[in-house]
Amino acid sequence: MIFLLLAVVGSVCFNQCLRYGQKHGTNILAAIVVNYLIAAGASLMIFLSHGLSPSRLLDGHVIAVAGVNGILYFAHILVILAAYRIVGVGITAALSRAGTVVPVLVSWLAWGETMTPYRWVALALVPVSMILMRRRESSHPRVTVRGDLVLFTCFAMAGTILTLHKYAQIHFTVGQRETYMTLLFTFATLSSLSYAFARRVEYSKGDVALGGAIGFVNASMLLLVLICLARIPAVVFYPTLASLEICLNVFASRLLWKESLLKRQMMGLLLAIGIVLLTNVPSR
């Protein structure tokens, strides 16, 4: 349970640091590039500190999964930024977090994790709760077919990323999972650096500082997620993480940025608490 709580705290810190960057005019793309670079370095330090053999880096299976997910990590950021412009921040964040549904269904179908009636109800409530708790928008863009496609892509990519984490936990050894972390962030770094170079992105001290901070948090989060998946079924972990994370993010935004709490957000918070309780009802 302590690892789950730490993962929630890490996720909230990551989101609020990005919010801080937005509020203070940080170049988010530049910060994201630095973030992946720092996360790759931190993951490599963890790998080396355990005295693991570098030959594990030559495992084709690990490289392939880490490569796909590393590229998805950065591509998902680009899709999220596009969705922000097209349909708004709130609905984008809600649909991205609702991607939790995908790894839960895959874990039930592919790896035989138990879904009780309570967990099915909780899973059905996840998208509803996420949408209710979305942030207030300063404008309400009309959702078009293009917007629908971007939102679906955002949802699907988030679900794929989380599913591949579960895949890594199932199929890789402890040492291979640490290799997976290092390679994932390495591929994300290479992808983001290539894109930033093509866009001629410039880096300020503020961008580097923010990127460094979220990079350490990002590496810690992935480590905690893999630890939790080794101890808690994905059908329990992912809905619990998403619900607690968004609850704390709503409260943190109110405390730090003075964002008002809407009635629908209160309803979403109550649903999120219900999701956590229903998901954690023990199976017989």
- Residue 53's pLDDT is what? 66
Residues 6+ apart with CB under 8 A from 179: 47, 52, 56, 57, 59, 62, 66, 172
- Residue 261's pLDDT is what? 74
Are 102 and 162 a contacting pair, CB within 8 Å? yes
Q: How confident is the model at residue 58 (pLDDT cuts 50, 70, 90)?
A: low
Mean pLDDT on 234-239: 96
The H or E element containing residue 114 is none
| Of residues 276, 281, 269, 241, the one with CA closest to residue 129 | 269
Position 140 pLDDT exceeds 90: no
Distances (CA, A) of 252 to 93, 121, 255: 15, 27, 5
Position 279 pLDDT exceeds 70: yes
Q: What is the pLDDT of residues 6-25, one digit of tens each?
A: 999 999 899 889 888 888 88
Distances (CA, A) of 198 to 50, 159, 201: 37, 28, 8
Are 173 and 116 a contacting pair, CB within 8 Å? no
Q: How confident is the model at residue 219 (pLDDT cuts 50, 70, 90)?
A: very high
Q: How confident is the model at residue 143 (pLDDT cuts 50, 70, 90)?
A: low
- Residue 137's pLDDT is what? 60
| Of residues 82, 68, 241, 74, the one with CA closest to residue 151 | 82
Residue type, 96: S
Residues 6+ apart with CB under 8 A from 146: 86
- Residue 4's pLDDT is what? 93
Asked which of 103-107, 176-180, 213-217, 263-267 is least confident by mean pLDDT, the reply is 263-267
Mean pLDDT on 111-136: 91
Distances (CA, A) of 281 to 5, 122, 272: 18, 10, 15
Q: What is the pLDDT of residues 25-34, one digit of tens each?
A: 899 999 999 9
Q: What is the pLDDT of residues 153-182, one digit of tens each?
A: 999 999 999 999 999 999 998 889 989 999
Distance from C-alpha of 210 to C-alpha of 17, rounded to nearest angstrom: 7
Position 141 pLDDT exceeds 60: no
Q: pTM of the predicted model, to two decimals? A: 0.92
- Residue 81's pLDDT is what? 86
Position 139 pLDDT exceeds 70: no
- Residue 218's pLDDT is what? 95
What percent of the chain lies above the pLDDT cut of 90?
61
- Sign of dihedral through CA atoms 53, 57, 58, 60? positive
Q: Which residue has the higher pLDDT, 49 or 78?
A: 78
Mean pLDDT on 226-239: 96
